[in-house]
Amino acid sequence: MKFGSQLIHGYSSFCPNTGASSTPIFQASTYHQPDIDCKGKYGYSRMENPTREALEEAIANMEGGSNGFAFASGMAAITAVFMLFEQGDHLVICEDVYGGTFQLATRIMPKFGIEATFVDATDLDAMEKAIRPNTKAIYLETPSNPTLRITDVRKASTLAKKYDLLTIIDNTFMTPYYQRPFELGADIIIHSATKFINGHSDVVAGLVVTKTKELGEQVGFIQINCGSVLGIQDCWLTLRGLKTLKARMDHSVKSAGIIAEWLSERPEVKKVYYPGLETHEGYEIHQEQASSSGAVLSFDVGSKEQVKKLFDAVKIGIVAISLGGVESIYSYPAQMSHASMTKEERDKLGITEGLIRLSVGLEDTEDILDNLEQAFAQF
């Protein structure tokens, strides 16, 4: 089955008891036990729930992994994965990692004796130099946020294997439709399903997929005992969103490519970051390891003043934190996703005062371009 069909039919997508065309919302915290000596499949909803199970089965199948897990947010998913490690362990993490992950790794995990070193993951030597005797994993995002830097996942996971480390990938930007980290050597995949997977800016959710049953057992144990499971209603909404992932991404990506080219020609724009532009650093690696350039791009308009003018003039789309919705989302990384970094750290990563991130939604491309054109006229 190809990916688009898999999204509709590649898991328990209808009710086996009634034939209902969508997985029912099993809004129950517990299950009657007819015989206490013979426990049924379902005992208590933190541990197992059929609606959550359908979503977990779906994402495991999409990514080609052994087990899937649904969490209350992307950060809850990432936290559960970090719980695999113990006091004295060390992680190597890409320096432009998601802001919440950065806070978790620098402000919370050290309390439990788990340390991290942040490296430029596009530089394999730097990554190797950061590995210590107690290092247990390499943690990556590619393309990264917000300047869409590209890490060679095959090379990074080969390096990880040489030192017996896990390779963990946050695949939120690409989704399993476009990037298949297990095929590139990863061991654990994480998603903020809040973004493209749910896709409608109406749910906060996280997913984890493990490559092996052994890792699956470990994450499963953490999931049910740390307990940050995704609520049943949100499991259902995420399943519903997932069904149209391909149709949504096909549209948004096509638009994003046109918009990125168009922005590259504009005198008001200093620089465009988009993995589909041949001039983008890591373009060839990305095209080789992913099947699309994605629906997120960033561009620099030079100053905060210009950003404010553009945001004031934008009528198609919203100005917000987040990405991957049906509506185009304009973000201001310097004061949103990367506000917790110092200006120096941001400058090093190219997150300037003039940088805007655009997650392209499902509006007509022409409307987005016309809207940007009239916004630039305000400059």
Ligand X SMILES: *Cc1c(COP(=O)(O)O)cnc(C)c1O
Would you tell me which residues interact with ligand X (CB under 6 A)? 73-75, 98, 100, 141, 145, 170, 172, 192, 194-195, 204, 206
Report the nearest approach of ligand X to the CB of residue 326 (Å). Answer: 16
Give the pair of three-digit tokens for residue 132. 């210590």
* Strand partners for 68: 209
Buried b (16+ CB within 10 A) or exposed e, 322-338: bbbbbebbbbbbbeebb
Report the nearest approach of ligand X to the CB of residue 253 (Å). Answer: 17
**Residue 254: CA count within 13 A, CB half-sphere:** 11
H-helix or E-strand spanning residue 317: none
Q: Is 98 part of the annotated catalytic residue set?
A: yes
Give the pair of three-digit tokens for residue 283. 């373009």
Catalytic annotation, pick one of 89, 170, 187, 234: 170
Q: Is 164 part of the annotated catalytic residue set?
A: no
Distance CA 358, CA 355 (A): 10
51 versus 331: smaller Cβ distance to ligand X: 331
179 versus 194: smaller Cβ distance to ligand X: 194
222 versus 375: smaller Cβ distance to ligand X: 222
Tell me the residue number closest to ligand X, measured at CB.
74
Q: Is 89 part of the annotated catalytic residue set?
A: no
Phi, psi of 258 (to 5 degrees): -65, -45
Catalytic annotation, pick one of 136, 149, 180, 195: 195
Strand duo 90-94 + 135-141: pairing: parallel
Catalytic annotation, pick one of 98, 139, 273, 274: 98
Q: Which of 95, 360, 271, 65 is nearest to 188 (CA)?
A: 65
Report the nearest approach of ligand X to the CB of residue 379 (Å). Answer: 29
Report the nearest approach of ligand X to the CB of residue 378 (Å). Answer: 29
H-helix or E-strand spanning residue 362: none
Catalytic annotation, pick one of 31, 46, 250, 308: 46
Q: Is 195 part of the annotated catalytic residue set?
A: yes
Report the nearest approach of ligand X to the CB of residue 81 (Å). Answer: 11
Give the pair of three-digit tokens for residue 168. 């963990």
151 versus 194: smaller Cβ distance to ligand X: 194
Q: Which of 97, 317, 75, 82 is nearest to 204 (CA)?
A: 75
13 versus 337: smaller Cβ distance to ligand X: 337
Catalytic residues: 46, 98, 170, 195
